[in-house]
């Protein structure tokens, strides 16, 4: 026999599944028609985006870098924007879908010239970036520099909105960080000196240590809602297979990513 508590529980879980389904549907459809179902009526929430090519909406177009760190040519962008926006995608990126769902405009790259409407947030991500300064050094905006830009922006917002309003905006905002893949990818594809100085565990600790510093930096400025996706098995990417024909790099990077994800899970508890 079902108890009352059980019923309540299954109702809650049904509701959760329903919302999750709606979320999926919203993520998969280009319209906004369903997005009001799960979201309570709410105040304005800004979105601050950090990380690598999974989240970069075009910052690299405004730095000195090489073609492999740029997505400013076709077929990038061809199925949604109809021109290459600097996103490493034929269409939108995950933060774009999240912005749509939150009824925000697409969040503009921080380096986009002449754009200063930061009350919706900003995108600091840079394709190729890692948590370690050494990852693609000189060709990307590393995570620490991204944090530096965020701090500059926080200062600007305080000046423009006043201390209290800026504080509320930063505290209510959602922070998305996609980072780590390039740190491990660098190990499996290049002759990194890091390999001579670090064991895999030490290397993972350095990546997580630097990511932690950035999270603390955001926290210190008032950020509270921070989301960081796990890393995918990079060794299985076509480019990783191509660069490491007998798959040694792939096996190595899968191991690093397993360590990273398990430590990260541990850390996020």
Applying CB under 6 A, the residues found at the interface with ligand NAG are 64, 132-134, 191, 206, 209-210, 213, 245-246, 248
Kindly state the smallest distance separating residue 157's Cβ from ligand NAG, in Å: 27
Q: Which is nearer to ligand NAG, 55 or 203 (CB)?
A: 203
Q: Which is nearer to ligand NAG, 120 or 183 (CB)?
A: 183
Kindly state the smallest distance separating residue 141's Cβ from ligand NAG, in Å: 13
Kindly state the smallest distance separating residue 142's Cβ from ligand NAG, in Å: 9
Q: Which is nearer to ligand NAG, 139 or 174 (CB)?
A: 139
Kindly state the smallest distance separating residue 165's Cβ from ligand NAG, in Å: 33
Kindly state the smallest distance separating residue 247's Cβ from ligand NAG, in Å: 8
Q: Which is nearer to ligand NAG, 89 or 253 (CB)?
A: 253
Q: Which is nearer to ligand NAG, 47 or 211 (CB)?
A: 211
- For residue 183, give Cα distances in angstroms to 212, 226, 230: 15, 21, 14
Q: Which is nearer to ligand NAG, 167 or 255 (CB)?
A: 255
Residue length of the chain: 269
Q: Which residue, judged by CB position, is nearest to ligand NAG in the bound state?
A: 209
- For residue 4, give Cα distances in angstroms to 9, 14, 15, 29: 8, 15, 16, 37
Kindly state the smallest distance separating residue 191's Cβ from ligand NAG, in Å: 3
Q: Which is nearer to ligand NAG, 13 or 248 (CB)?
A: 248
Which long-range contacts (C-beta less than 8 Å, at least 24 apart) are formed by 143-148?
143/50, 143/51, 143/177, 143/179, 143/210, 143/211, 143/214, 144/210, 144/213, 144/214, 146/50, 146/51, 146/214, 147/50, 147/214, 147/217, 147/218
Kindly state the smallest distance separating residue 173's Cβ from ligand NAG, in Å: 25
């Amino acid at each position: 026999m079902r108890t009352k508590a059980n019923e309540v529980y299954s109702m809650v879980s049904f509701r959760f599944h329903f919302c999750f389904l709606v979320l999926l549907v919203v993520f998969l459809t280009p319209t906004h028609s369903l997005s009001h179902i799960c979201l309570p009526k709410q105040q304005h929430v800004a979105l601050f985006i950090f990380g690598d090519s999974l989240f970069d909406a075009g910052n690299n177009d405004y730095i000195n870098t090489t073609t492999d760190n740029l997505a400013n040519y076709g077929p990038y962008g061809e199925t949604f924007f109809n021109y290459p926006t600097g996103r490493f995608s034929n269409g939108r990126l995950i933060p774009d879908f999240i912005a749509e769902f939150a009824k925000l405009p697409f969040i503009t790259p921080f380096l986009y010239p002449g754009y200063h409407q930061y009350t919706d947030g900003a995108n600091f991500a840079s394709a190729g970036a890692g948590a370690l300064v050494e990852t693609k050094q000189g060709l990307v905006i590393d995570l620490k520099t991204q944090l530096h830009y965020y701090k500059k922006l926080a200062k600007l917002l305080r000046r423009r909105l006043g201390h209290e309003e800026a504080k509320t905006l930063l505290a209510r905002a959602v922070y998305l960080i996609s980072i780590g893949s390039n740190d491990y990818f660098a190990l499996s594809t290049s002759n990194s000196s890091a390999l001579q100085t670090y064991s895999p565990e030490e290397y993972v600790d350095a990546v997580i240590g630097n990511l932690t510093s950035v999270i603390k930096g955001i926290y210190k400025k008032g950020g509270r809602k921070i989301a960081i996706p796990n890393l995918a098995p990079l060794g299985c990417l076509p480019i990783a297979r191509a660069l490491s024909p007998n798959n040694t790099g792939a096996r190595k990077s899968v191991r690093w990513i397993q360590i990273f994800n398990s430590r990260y899970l541990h850390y996020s508890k």
